Amino acid sequence: MIMKGKIVIVLGVLAVATTAVLVYGWRKNRVEYWNEVACEAFKEALNEDLKSRSDLSVPFSRGNGLLSVVDTIPRSVFVTSKYGEREYKIEPYKHRNNIASDSQRRMLHSVILEKRPLNSDTLNAKWKRRLDEQKVSASTLVRVSVTDLDYHTAVEYSQPYNQEYLRDSLFACYAGYRCEVEIAGFARYTWIGNLSMMDYLKFFVPLLLVLLLCIFDHFFHDKVKKYFIKEAPVIIEKKVPVIVMEEHTPCIYRLEDGTLFDFDYSLLKNGEQHTETLYPQSKILLKAFVEAKDYRLTSDDITVLLWPKGDGTASKVYQSTTRLRISLQRVSNMTLVNEGSVYRLKIAHFIEEN
């Protein structure tokens, strides 16, 4: 029974470990997909918000010297305002991530966003709506940063504001001729909200297999055992403490307290409920004890018996005798005692002896 419990625990641990690996792989692959969907939805939401300002009238005249930003990325742009003409240097990645691809639209965005600035809450709501349409469950945050002509930057966050979101932005877009408006999106995906029924089934397959094996063993263990074990071994009882069966029969020892030691099956059995499976070394060691004179073995005897190649140590002898002692005490009245350099197997009616 104890060995069966250990097997169930090992199988359970393996099932949990397998499930953890599956969840980790699923999470890694899905996060990459969610990021792609979220970035695309973010751009669509921003374009939708910019198009809502199409009712604004903006006087605009275009000279012949303007270049397409797609063809050429200038290192700086020039703006004429009440402060006169100024040069503004712009980093290349801001040009690449501007929501508009040409200079004319960028200048238009500068004007209309000055008249009607972006609202982070409105943009966040549109982004969240598009994610819901794509069936991606996430908590989102939008940050809008605006830099004026004097390089002063004002920052606004959508509500509710949470500092945990600000570790890494998922995506950042820029708007305006100077790329003066930065719109950054932050997202945190929920595990449960993004799990489908197929994902649940896939994750619980290892645990279900272990459960089915346990159920099968519970209901069919006796039938399987009877099928493979046709006949019970013959046990001959005598009035001596230990009986060794004939060599042509199963090697079984019966002790006076009723404990059976089945060498072939590595079992100690005392009644129907108390059974202990022995380790290979433990059964060899116990057989040597019951066959030894006065049930005594020296440390050297044990070393030669278990490690004939000469790699035995005192520590190994101690571990082997301790393991056997624990197994004996679980099902019988026998124990091992250390008498200096000699180990002795004490059987029931010897326990009171000095």
User: How would you write the pLDDT of the chain (354 residues) with one tens digit per residue?
Assistant: 445 667 767 767 776 777 777 666 666 667 788 888 999 999 999 999 998 887 776 665 444 444 444 445 667 788 887 777 888 888 888 888 899 888 888 888 988 998 899 999 999 999 999 998 988 888 889 999 999 988 899 999 987 666 665 566 777 899 998 989 999 998 887 766 666 666 656 656 777 777 777 777 667 666 656 665 555 554 545 444 555 554 546 788 876 667 788 888 888 888 766 788 889 998 898 889 888 888 889 999 989 999 998 888 989 988 999 998 898 888 888 888 888 789 988 865 544 444
Return phi, psi of residue 54, to 5°: -70, -10
Task: Report DSSP state, residue 98.
Answer: B
Residue 12 pLDDT: 72
pLDDT of residue 243: 53
Distance CA 242, CA 96 (A): 90
pLDDT at 181: 94
Amino acid at 230: K
Model pLDDT, residue 45: 93
- Angle made by CA atoms 128, 130, 135, in degrees to the nearest 5: 90
Q: What are residue 86's DSSP bridge partners?
A: 79
Predicted confidence at residue 44, as pLDDT, reads 92
Q: Is the separation of the CB atoms in 277 and 285 below 8 Å?
A: no
- Predicted local confidence at residue 139, as pLDDT: 84
Neighbours of 290 (CB within 10 A): 18
Domains, the chain, with CATH or none: 2-58+69-194 (no CATH), 233-350 (1.10.10.10)
Predicted local confidence at residue 166, as pLDDT: 58
Gyration radius of the chain over CA positions: 40
The tally of CA atoms less than 13 A away on the side-chain side of residue 71 is 4
What distance in Å separates the CA atoms of residue 253 and residue 213, rounded to the nearest whole number? 33
Q: Is 47 helix (H, G, I), strand (E, B) or coil?
A: helix
